[in-house]
Amino acid sequence: MRPPRTPAARRVMDLWAAGDRVGRLHTTARWWSAPFAELELEVPLAGDILEIGCGHGVFSTYLAITSTARRVLGVDIDADKIALAARVIEGLEPGEGHVRFETLPSGTVPRIDGGWCAIVFADVLYLLGRERREALLADCVDALAPGGLLVIKEVDTRPLLKAKLAQFQELIATKVLRITDGHTLEFSSSEELVAVLADLGLSTMAKRIDHGYVHPHCVVLGTRPSRSADLGN
Ligand SMILES: C[S@@+](CC[C@H](N)C(=O)[O-])C[C@H]1O[C@@H](n2cnc3c(N)ncnc32)[C@H](O)[C@@H]1O
């Protein structure tokens, strides 16, 4: 559990403090429990960044504020969360960060000329089930620029006790409180995610980012080959 310590983190929390009570509580709880500061360090500092399943938009906004050279698009299937995110970022000062939000149907990966510099998932893929997850990741790889990065933050399946606690909380969030939309609950280990990305032709790496947190947070990174590597040069 970590409080928002940096000026950028505190600014993001202040923006949401002006939003509605439920959104505010949810985003504060999210910041304390998810390693957003550690995850931000894995995302390129400049270029077009897509976050799929951005929820209330806290991490997308944090990415935009921590580097104004990033242009961030956050998308989610939940129109209410996106409406709140869009309202909250109206509080940004001009030039404080480039971020926008869109509601999109499940499985949609928006395309841009030249491809995305990075596509980010933070605690989303476990909600999709294996087939949808693998199809979506294949689309993401297509939508990345050559040399672009896929950044996947999930809760690992080890150590078992920490993983079971996280899985129980997700069960409550999706099936009882219904604060998270998703097709299913299917948790993958970081090794399984690495294998999926490697099968898609990415060079991969996995890291734990759970120091000081209750849940076994991990990040899996996959880099699309640059054009010269595509051509075998
Ligand atoms: C646990 S929340 C994480 C939200 C945000 N990434 C964060 O870290 O605070 C999972 C989010 O994934 C979204 N989601 C579930 N299935 C999705 C899909 N197929 N496509 C896009 N978003 C999806 C949910 O609506 C929800 O906002």
Please list the pLDDT of the chain residue by residue as tens digits (233 residues): 677 889 999 999 999 888 778 778 888 888 888 999 999 999 999 999 999 999 999 999 999 999 999 999 999 999 999 999 999 999 999 999 999 999 999 999 999 999 999 999 999 999 999 999 999 999 999 999 999 999 999 999 988 888 888 888 878 877 777 767 666 888 999 999 999 999 999 999 999 999 989 899 999 999 999 976 654 54
Gap between the Cα atoms of 215 and 48, Å rounded: 30
Tens digit of pLDDT for each residue in 43-53? 999 999 999 99
Domain architecture of the chain: domains with CATH: 7-28+35-230 (3.40.50.150)
Gap between the Cα atoms of 213 and 144, Å rounded: 31
- What are residue 13's phi and psi, to 5 degrees? -65, -40
Q: 129 with 183: CB under 8 angstroms?
A: yes
Name residues contacting ligand 1 (CB within 6 A). Answer: 30, 34, 52-55, 58-59, 76-78, 81, 106, 122-124, 127-128, 180-182
Tens digit of pLDDT for each residue in 156-169? 998 888 888 888 88
- Atom number of ligand 1 nearest to Cα 52: 21
Whole-model pTM: value is: 0.93
C-alpha 79 to ligand 1 mean position (Å): 11
- The DSSP output letter for 50 is E
Torsion 136-138-143-144 (CA) sign: positive
Grouping H, G, I as helix, E, B as strand and the rest as coil, residue 220 is strand
C-alpha 27 to ligand 1 mean position (Å): 13
- Atom number of ligand 1 nearest to Cα 132: 19
Beta-strand ranges (E) seen in 36-115 are 47-52, 70-76, 98-103
